[in-house]
């Protein structure tokens, strides 16, 4: 299920893994490198200081070698059920200012429901672009666990 407003998006997925594994997929640099970019891109850098107030840096690389860097600060860390962090692009050509990502992981036994919320966008265009990007990245997360 996907819902969005002009300034927020909400995506829901069911992942074929337990909550602890899915939480690790959002916080472990080695796992982030496997999926935390839209399809067709790779994660060249995944640095994580997993503590309240700690920061992270993700660099996504496309096939042409263009780099997209996102940085932010962890606001809430509640393993294995919830994670919240700020998000800001470092490139001026697609900076939407500082936004907020919240990931809720709901236990469904052998699977986990991921509720992914990204909010505080400045306009509908930024929301739409991020909806496409996150939908694609979550496709990769889902595939990462469905192949096991």
Residue ranges of domains in the chain: 2-146
Note the pLDDT of residue 3: 59
Computed over every residue of the chain, the mean pLDDT equals 94
Note the pLDDT of residue 70: 97
Band (79; pLDDT cuts 50, 70, 90): very high
The CATH classification number of 2-146 equals: 3.30.530.20
Band (6; pLDDT cuts 50, 70, 90): confident
Query: ω into residue 80 within 30 of 0, thus cis?
Result: yes
SS3 64: coil
DSSP per-residue string spanning 68-127: EEEEEEEEEEETTTEEEEEEEESSGGG----EEEEEEEEEETTEEEEEEEEE--SSHHHH
pTM metric for this prediction: 0.94
Rounded CA-CA distance 118/100 in Å is: 6
> If you average pLDDT over residues 110-128, what whole number do you get?
95
Note the pLDDT of residue 95: 67
Residue 60: φ, ψ to 5°: -105, 135
């Amino acid at each position: 299920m996907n819902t969005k407003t002009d300034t927020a998006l909400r995506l829901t997925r069911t992942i074929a893994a337990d909550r602890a594994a899915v939480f690790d997929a959002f916080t472990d640099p080695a796992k982030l490198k496997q999926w935390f970019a839209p399809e067709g891109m790779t994660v060249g850098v995944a640095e994580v200081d997993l503590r309240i107030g700690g920061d992270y840096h993700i660099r996504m690389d496309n096939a042409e070698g263009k780099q997209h860097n996102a940085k932010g600060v962890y606001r809430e860390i509640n393993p294995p059920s919830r994670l919240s962090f700020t998000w800001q692009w470092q490139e001026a050509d697609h900076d939407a200012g500082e936004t907020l990502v919240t990931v809720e992981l709901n236990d469904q036994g052998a699977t986990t429901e991921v509720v992914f919320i990204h909010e505080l966008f400045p306009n509908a265009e930024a929301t739409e672009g991020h909806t496409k990007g996150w939908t694609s990245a979550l496709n990769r997360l889902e595939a990462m666990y469905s192949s096991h």
